[in-house]
């Protein structure tokens, strides 16, 4: 029997409890994931469909989440465009970052097929495994977020290199953002064609921009990407981080749901932007580092903060699961959600 809670919530239908899945639900906090990672590197794992499928299924098999998100990484399209990508103990690193217009001209817009992206094979395999049980989520980064990594080289709190490039090379920046957008459109289209029921776009670094720069550089390309994906008729979730000042613009995008970080109040966002915009989130991942009692209380409080969680709400974190998270605390969060029925929360005895 197909569990369509996520699709119903994204379609603003009434549901008996919020659907729940977690960003980075497959990852280092799971012992079964660590077992696989002890044998293979991160990029090899992403690019080996059989292993990517196994890892994608681990949280579903353990927690019975309401969706399976394919295991991959947002920077794979940057690699396919021609950049040298590696994953170190400190995170992803691009070794030949974009520093001038000439570098941008060298970038290709790769064909989106299973040979270029083994992730597409993984989605197709997941469809055969769980496509009749729960929805499959495909994903990518947003154009601006990929721009940040491609011009900075690695993750940063402020992305000063990326912003310096943006301010000193505005024309080249538009050219780079355009190439990224076209690449992501092809990639996400093929994810849907391979079996993804839902797409999530991660604009993790939108919040570092001012309102003016967001309107000039990030928003047009994100809007174009979302608009071009509309004919696929799949719901799109957009995740933004630390982006309170941008929400009036973000909320106008043609998305099914906005995935929020923990700094936002769910009801305030709904009051400000209307019930037609679905909401996802937004428990602080740090809560999962505490204990089961706190996790249950905070999860319950988060859901009850939304007056009408039965329509257009998806329970999730405000960012990805942290590597040091105890597995039993994830169980506590999901069990709390599963126990919701008829607008009541019941603790398991």
Which is catalytic among the residues 17, 29, 73, 221? Answer: 73
SS (H, E, C) 307-348: CCCCECEEEEECCCCCCCCCHHHHHHHHHHHHCEECCEECCC
d(CA 258, CA 71): 21
Which is catalytic among the residues 33, 60, 149, 214? Answer: 149
Rg (CA), the chain: 19
Which is catalytic among the residues 24, 29, 33, 296? Answer: 24
Which is catalytic among the residues 4, 37, 62, 284? Answer: 37
Backbone angles phi and psi of 94, in degrees to 5: -105, 120
d(CA 195, CA 217): 31
Query: By C-alpha distance, which of 261, 227, 232 is closest to 247?
Result: 261
Whether 28 sits among the annotated catalytic residues: the reply is yes
Whether 263 sits among the annotated catalytic residues: the reply is no
d(CA 73, CA 348): 36
Whether 37 sits among the annotated catalytic residues: the reply is yes
DSSP code per residue over 118-179: HHHHHHHHHHHHHTTTS-EEEEEE-HHHHHHHHHHSB--SS-HHHHHHHHH-HHHHHHHHHH
Query: By C-alpha distance, which of 16, 10, 61, 13 is closest to 314?
Result: 10
DSSP code per residue over 268-288: HHHHHH-TTSEEEEEE-GGGG
CA 287 to each of CA 44, 294, 315: distance values in angstroms, whole numbers, following the listed order: 31, 7, 14
Burial class (CB in 10 A: 0-12, 13-18, 19+), 116: middle
Percent of the chain that is helix, strand, coil (3-state, to 5): 50, 15, 35
Which is catalytic among the residues 4, 28, 62, 335? Answer: 28
Catalytic residue positions? Answer: 24, 28, 37, 73, 149
């Amino acid at each position: 029997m197909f569990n369509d809670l996520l699709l119903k919530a994204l379609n603003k239908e009434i549901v008996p409890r919020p659907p729940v899945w977690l960003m980075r639900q497959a990852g280092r906090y799971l012992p079964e994931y660590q077992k696989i990672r002890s044998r293979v590197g991160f990029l090899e794992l992403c690019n080996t469909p059989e292993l990517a499928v196994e890892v994608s299924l681990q949280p579903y098999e353990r927690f019975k989440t309401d969706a399976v998100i394919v295991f991959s990484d947002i920077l794979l399209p940057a690699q396919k465009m021609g950049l040298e990508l590696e994953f170190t103990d400190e995170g992803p690193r691009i070794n030949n970052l974009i520093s001038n217009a000439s570098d941008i001209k060298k970038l290709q817009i790769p064909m989106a097929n299973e040979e270029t992206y083994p992730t597409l094979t993984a989605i197709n395999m997941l469809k055969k495994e769980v496509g009749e049980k729960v929805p499959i989520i495909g994903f990518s980064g947003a154009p601006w977020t990929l721009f940040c990594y491609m011009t900075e080289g690695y993750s940063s709190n402020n992305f000063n290199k990326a912003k310096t490039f943006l301010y000193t090379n505005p024309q080249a920046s538009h050219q780079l953002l355009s190439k990224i957008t076209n690449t992501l459109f092809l990639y996400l289209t093929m994810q849907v064609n391979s079996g993804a029921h839902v797409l999530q776009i991660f604009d993790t670094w939108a919040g570092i921009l001012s309102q003016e720069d967001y309107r000039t550089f990030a928003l047009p390309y994100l809007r174009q990407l979302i608009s071009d994906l509309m004919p696929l008729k799949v719901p799109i979730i957009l995740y933004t981080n630390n982006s309170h000042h941008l929400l009036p613009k973000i909320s106008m995008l043609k998305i099914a749901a906005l995935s929020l970080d923990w700094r936002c109040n769910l009801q305030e966002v709904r009051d400000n932007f209307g019930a037609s915009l679905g909401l996802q989130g937004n428990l602080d991942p740090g809560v999962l580092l505490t204990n089961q009692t706190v996790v249950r209380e905070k999860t319950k409080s988060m859901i009850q903060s939304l007056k009408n969680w039965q329509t257009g709400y998806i329970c999730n974190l405000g960012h990805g699961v942290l590597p040091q998270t105890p597995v039993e605390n994830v169980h506590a969060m999901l069990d709390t959600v599963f126990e919701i029925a008829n607008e009541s929360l019941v603790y398991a005895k």
